[in-house]
Amino acid sequence: MIEVNPIEHFQFDGTPKAKVLIIYTGGTLGMDFNDSGSLVPCGFNQILERVPVLKELHVNISVISFKEPIDSSNVHIEHWQLLASLIYEHYENFDGFLILHGTDTMAYSASALSFMLEGVNKPIIFTGAQLPIASPRSDATENLVTSLEIAADKKNGKPIITEVCIFFNHVLLRGNRAKKVESQHFDAFESENYPILAEAGITIDYHWSYLKPYAKDFIRLNMEMDNNIVVLKLFPGLNQATAAGILLADTVKGVIIESYGSGNVPNEQWFLDILKESVRKGKIILNVSQCNGGRVMHGKYETSSELDKIGVISGHDLTSEAATAKMMYAMAQFPNLRDAKKCLRTPIRGEMN
């Protein structure tokens, strides 16, 4: 069981423009040096000491921290469920939510929460850093301060952002459209298939035509996720035994194929026969592209022309991260195979066109 520390309240302003709940999971942002000079996870009080400007934003902050901060490489479904349940539990008490999270799996977590939390009309912003907050050249301060501003921003008394997003290196991205693409530079995330929602320069410039409009709240928590899935990335030289072992495994209920280009797969008969057998056995196969941008278009080339006939679902312009979270969600929420497939074909959280 994942444990969290008691909620801490930081009342910086008697008449705040917003109240924001920060959930600290771990990751590079919240690292500081201990007495021996080693980097270790620190508490929010230490973060506040490093970023005293947080007190000047006219935002009152409450903080819930994981008792044992985690490296995001260790994130599992239970962590998503905890994050979603914490937001659901405190939803009425705050104007926005900020999740401090490691970058490696941030796009997966943002995608998962977008499906698990239905009817959201408040900002849920993920952010982190490429360098620890204790580093002199850290990007943590800018990411944290601007994320908090966005989580608190309103227009005519209503939140400007009404969905799950990632803010990183001056840009705000839809969470289930984002992908981590860089490990050595500050521009770690991109969203090739959906425009940037906002850019932070001297001011925060919102790209209004791409924002999800405010609507009446009907927040609903969908906790269950089915992780009996696998991702098969195609590569030249994939052999028949390996493909069959993955696609026909008894424990696998869903397969995400990362195909070439616009959805192309080998058109060798043995591979098509394995796909047919997998579909016949009641498995869901979802086709997404290995490319960061573009979309799957079954039939554009001969090598993908048979996929619709076989029953492979086109993932259109889904990222692999969003496809993974959505398949887990669809299979858990819709035990009926036809309904699960319909869910995967249909945009439900702005995750695909």
State how far the Cα of 217 lies from the Cα of 267, in Å rounded to an integer.
47
Nearest to 183 by CA among 260, 283, 241, 103: 103
- Is position 28 annotated as part of the catalytic site? yes
- CA-based torsion, 137, 141, 142, 147: positive or negative: positive
Side-chain half-sphere exposure of 275, counting CA atoms within 13 A: 23
Other CB atoms within 10 A of residue 268 CB: 12
Burial of 80-97, coded b for 16+ CB within 10 Å and e otherwise, reads bbbbbebbbebbeebbbb
> Do 118 and 224 touch, CB atoms closer than 8 A?
no
Whole-number Å distance between alpha carbons of 349 and 114: 7
The catalytic position among 15, 25, 28, 146 is 28
SS (H, E, C) 219-260: CEECCCCCCCEEEEECCCCCCHHHHHHHHCCCCCCEEEEEEE
Strand 158-159 versus strand 284-289 pairing type: unpaired
- Separation of alpha carbons 244 and 308, rounded Å: 20
Per-residue buried b or exposed e for 305-325, using 16+ beta carbons within 10 Å of the residue's own CB? ebbeebebbbbbbbbbbbbbb
Active site residues: 28
